[in-house]
A and B are shown apart, each in its own frame.
Chain A
Amino acid sequence: MDEDTRREIILDHYNNPIHKKVPNNKEEYEFVNTNNSSCIDNLDIYIKIKDNIIKDIYFDGEACAISTSSCSIMIHNLIGKTIKEAKEYINNFQNMLDELPYNEEVLNEALAYNNIYKQNNRKHCAYLPYEGILKILNNYQS
């Protein structure tokens, strides 16, 4: 993926994030706040799981371009996945950030962060939404 495409994807999801609002019937959703202690990103994530499948996700809050776009792309990619699939996907994304072997195909637009490791201070921004959602997914299983 070239630099221009990366930038385009990130800015597109930053300027027009999907599902960025508090869901209408929020009592049907599980809620988690995720924030970055070393900066000021602060996201609320709402997720609806039924029969082990992620039915819906929304988010709200204030965060930088990287966190916001990453959250939007994450939501796009996770809706419809089973919990197991979602965790695999997240693991894969994390491997990419950590420069470990990963499967490119499943990540689609999330590949826009494939060289974010070069900016150490932004790596956590990209991962922040995943950190939040994992808290819910891990709890769900137990």
Chain B
Amino acid sequence: MNQSDFPMLKKDIIYFDNAATTLKPKQVLDKMNDYYENYSANAHRGDYDISFKTDQEYELAREKVRKFINAREVEEIIFTSGTTESLNMVANGFFKKYLEENDEILITMSEHASNVLPWFHLQNTNGCLVKFIPLDANHYVTLENVKKAVTPRTKLIALAGITNVLGDERPIKEITEFAHAHNIFVVMDGAQSVPHKKTDVCDLDVDFLAFSGHKMCGPTGIGVLYGKKQLLEELDPINMGGGMNESFDDPQNLYFKDLPHRLEAGTPNIAGAIGLGQAIDYLQSIGMDKINEYEKSLRKYAIDKLIKIPYLDILNIEADGAIISFNVNDIFSQDVAYYLNKYNICVRAGNHCAKILKNEVGIKNSLRISFYFYNTKSEIDDFIELIKNKEKMKVEMI
């Protein structure tokens, strides 16, 4: 779908690394350029026309995000630099003071580093304990296993909606329902799910949600922290400075602004936020359900062909996300990636920032291909032709 909107796709590449970051449509680039060329001013400050316009566009982007994830109030949308910053804000601004020694945080072995390290760090500073929900035979999360892992000390469950190596989707709504019945908070890492399927925070009822603009056709350096308003009210700002204060005379008299500005100190990523707003418009003009359906058909198309190649070890034959991870027997994943690179096919080799996953699946590195709506079956055909020829691969990998 929509290939012609993407300048990068005119460069004769096949881009299969959408879990890392996505390409940007011209509409988003134009919108950002428009800001820089036609009303480039700071937000929340000036009393002149272009600054007013900047402010309006910035806040309009926030409203677009609100609608996109169906948050109740626009104050619940905080612009951050990305998923990583959002998760760190929640860990250090909220759970650091909320959790006590020996309180338990539940995560899994298949989380991205950004949903592991903030909690490991909290354990080191706070004395709370990070525990792991056991995964099933496919390395997926089930509600049953969540129930088994919960103890009276469990205070938080932090999970990716869809994981970035195996692409499995978690039953977040059911988990949240169970969690809330036991006074447990739920933090959702939406980096791989929000770009690919409709997300409704009211329906899921998660307490916090983090996601990144660059994985959904938006610019780099912009992301979102959603939190239920009463919880965000309790979240201490990590950054202090301009834009977030109401008044200050001396250290005893600091007055901060209300949400969301209290949590957005400093000049924000204005162009980024406006670009993200445009990316949301763009995705919605296609329709999230349609995107999701199309990606599923791409994945099925690719899997049906890949499983016929005998020397491949596919880590996730079944998965909801548009991610396929695999290894070519006897060939180091990176060599395969270099081979494909010679044909302008961009795929990722490595551990994909899920360094503890190897303890679970017993495989350190893999190749990952990940689709977005602008990928096509004919691109998959080209890729399969190259993967099907192991002898060629062996000769051309160096």
Contact = CB atoms under 8 A, between A and B. Distances in A.
Give the size category of A's interface with B: 10 to 19
Contacts of B334: 39-41, 64
Contact of B398 (A39, A40, A63, A66): A66
Interface of B: 332-335, 338, 341, 349-351, 364-365, 394-395, 397-398
Contacts, number: 35
Nearest to A63: B332
Q: Which of A39, A40, A41, A68 has the most C-beta atoms of chain B within 10 angstroms of its own C-beta?
A: A40
A41 B334 CA distance: 9
A20 to B, nearest CB: 13
A62 interface: yes
B366 to A, nearest CB: 10
A119 B334 CA distance: 14
Nearest to A36: B334
Closest A-B pairs by Cβ, 10 of them:
A64-B334, A40-B350, A65-B335, A64-B332, A64-B335, A65-B398, A40-B365, A10-B398, A39-B334, A40-B334
A121 B395 CA distance: 18
A39 B395 contact: no
Nearest to B396: A7
A71 B365 CA distance: 20
A62 B398 contact: no
B335 A39 contact: no
A11 interface: yes
Contacts of B333: 40
B395 A7 contact: yes
Interface in A66-92: 66, 68
B365 A62 contact: yes
Contacts of A14: 398
B335 A62 contact: no
Given A40-B333, A65-B332, A122 B351 contact: no
A116 to B, nearest CB: 9
Contacts of A62: 332, 364-365
Contacts of A121: 338, 341
A111 to B, nearest CB: 15
Nearest to B352: A40
B338 A40 contact: no
Interface in A1-40: 7, 10-11, 14, 39-40
Contacts of B395: 7
A51 B349 CA distance: 42
B289 to A, nearest CB: 36
A39 B332 contact: no
Contacts of A7: 395, 398
Given A39-B334, A122-B338, A65 B397 contact: yes
A119 B335 CA distance: 13
A12 B324 CA distance: 31
Nearest to B342: A119
A63 B398 CA distance: 13
A11 B338 contact: no
Q: Which of B334, B338, B341 has the most C-beta atoms of chain A within 10 angstroms of its own C-beta?
A: B334
Contacts of A66: 398
A39 B350 CA distance: 7
Nearest to A116: B398
B230 to A, nearest CB: 42
Contacts of B398: 7, 10-11, 14, 65-66
A40 B397 contact: no
Nearest to B394: A11
